[in-house]
């Protein structure tokens, strides 16, 4: 993790946040940095699964095992003053079972002996208002920058590291940019849209200048639920495994999910609320377009910006399922296959019903539409083993 060394103020609440997105959270944590809260992104270490299963509910989806496991391990470490510590659990607030995480985590904390530690939720749907983290303007503005900077760093890293001439040069460049951007986010300085767009170009240029060696590699599209798509613990280091097999992992940016979520809110509202969501969508889509233009101008690739991506998705599949990742998962599969990824890997966590409906439910249709491509899914849960998953992935790579 890329963390800036700072000094916490007396009486400040430590806000523990589970690591669910390795490339984004080092920057997103600064959205919550204030005189009141001191955010700490928890690391993915050994023993998390055992802790989560001991005090969690094993009928929930696999990420539910991992998030409580991170919390409980951190609280038992002795590193934090439990009278000045709170837990933050982000939630989409829709019909996905993830909206039940906070109440179940509280039960687990009480059973583990930490009933005094509050569990706050973060959502825009008004769930658990009395125990939700207040969303303030500075949080939204900082998160906007962290979202696109995180996307760009992830896309640039995945497309540069497999080809780097000097091992470690890509990660060094990413760490330098993370440190630089984190300082801006923490202090709130330089957070203008004009500065963001200039940084898009500078970041893409610096990664493009890293010396490369070797020809094109197999590109493997990686899709799935947010935790299993973006977190090494959730997908058992799948990006590192693919790179070790001589491949390039193609993972779509988080901003596509955010725009998908906003699009679903537009469809379900009317009047002033609908107009507000449309304004948000227009701002986000415009920034995403600037990011993709910077990528492509320097020889990198990405899926189409969301408006075009959505139009194509309407031709590919039904848009009716909007719970959790909903139609986004199938749309990403089709977009990867269309963009030249002949192989797509669907990382599906145990217990995530939308992922299985929109994942496996699309395979036959995708096979008919893209006979030159291949889609393979792997199930991730606490009873499985990395060896089983890796062997299945090798079948995808060799097929």
pLDDT, residue 95, reads 65
Q: Indicate if the pLDDT at residue 302 is higher than 90.
A: yes
Between these two residues, 274 and 364, which has the higher pLDDT value?
274
Q: Where are the alpha helices (DSSP H) in 89-221?
A: 101-112, 137-160, 169-187, 193-208
Fill in the DSSP letter of residue 123. -
Q: Indicate if the pLDDT at residue 4 is higher than 50.
A: no
- The strand pairing partners of 87, in sequence order, are 16, 119
Q: What is the pLDDT of residues 205-259, one digit of tens each?
A: 999 999 999 888 999 999 988 888 999 888 989 999 999 999 999 999 999 999 9
pLDDT, residue 10, reads 67
Task: Write down the pTM of the prediction.
Answer: 0.92
Q: What is the pLDDT of residues 360-388, one digit of tens each?
A: 677 778 888 888 899 888 888 888 788 88
Is the Cβ–Cβ distance between 150 and 28 less than 8 Å? yes
66-86 mean pLDDT: 92
Q: Indicate if the pLDDT at residue 3 is higher than 50.
A: no
pLDDT, residue 284, reads 97
């Amino acid at each position: 993790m890329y963390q800036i060394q700072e000094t916490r103020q007396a009486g400040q609440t430590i806000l523990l946040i589970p690591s669910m997105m390795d490339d984004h959270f080092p920057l997103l944590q600064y959205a919550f940095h204030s005189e009141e809260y001191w955010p700490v992104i928890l690391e993915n270490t050994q023993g998390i699964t055992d802790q989560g299963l001991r005090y969690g509910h094993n009928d929930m989806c696999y990420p539910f095992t991992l998030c409580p496991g991170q919390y409980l391990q951190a609280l038992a470490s002795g590193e934090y003053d439990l009278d000045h510590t709170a837990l933050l659990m982000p939630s989409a607030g829709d019909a996905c079972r993830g909206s039940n995480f906070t109440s179940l985590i509280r039960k687990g904390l009480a059973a583990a002996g930490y009933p005094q530690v509050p569990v706050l939720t973060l959502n825009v749907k008004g769930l658990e208002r009395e125990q939700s983290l207040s969303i303030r303007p500075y949080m939204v503005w900082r998160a906007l920058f962290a979202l696109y900077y995180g996307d760009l760093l992830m896309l640039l890293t995945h497309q540069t590291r497999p080809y780097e001439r000097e091992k470690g040069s890509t990660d060094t460049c990413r760490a330098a940019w993370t440190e630089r951007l984190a300082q801006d986010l923490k202090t709130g300085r330089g957070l203008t849209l004009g500065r963001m767009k200039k940084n898009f170009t500078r970041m893409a240029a610096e990664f493009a200048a890293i010396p490369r060696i070797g020809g094109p590699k197999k590109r493997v599209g990686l899709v799935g639920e947010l935790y299993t798509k973006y977190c090494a613990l959730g997908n058992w280091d799948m990006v590192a495994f693919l790179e070790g097999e001589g491949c390039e992992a193609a993972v779509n940016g988080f901003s596509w999910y955010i725009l998908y979520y906003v699009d679903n809110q537009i469809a379900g509202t009317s009047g002033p609320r609908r107009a507000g969501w449309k304004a948000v969508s227009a701002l986000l889509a415009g920034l995403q377009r600037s990011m993709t233009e910077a990528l492509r101008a320097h020889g990198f690739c990405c899926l189409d910006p969301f408006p075009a991506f959505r139009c194509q998705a309407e031709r590919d599949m039904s848009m009716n399922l909007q719970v959790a990742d909903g139609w986004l998962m199938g749309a990403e599969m089709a977009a990867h296959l269309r963009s030249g990824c002949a192989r797509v890997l669907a990382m599906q966590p145990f217990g995530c019903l939308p992922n299985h409906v929109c994942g496996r439910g699309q395979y036959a249709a995708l096979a008919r539409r893209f006979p030159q491509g291949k889609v393979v899914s792997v199930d991730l849960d606490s009873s499985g083993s990395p060896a089983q998953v890796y062997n299945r992935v090798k079948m995808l790579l060799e097929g």
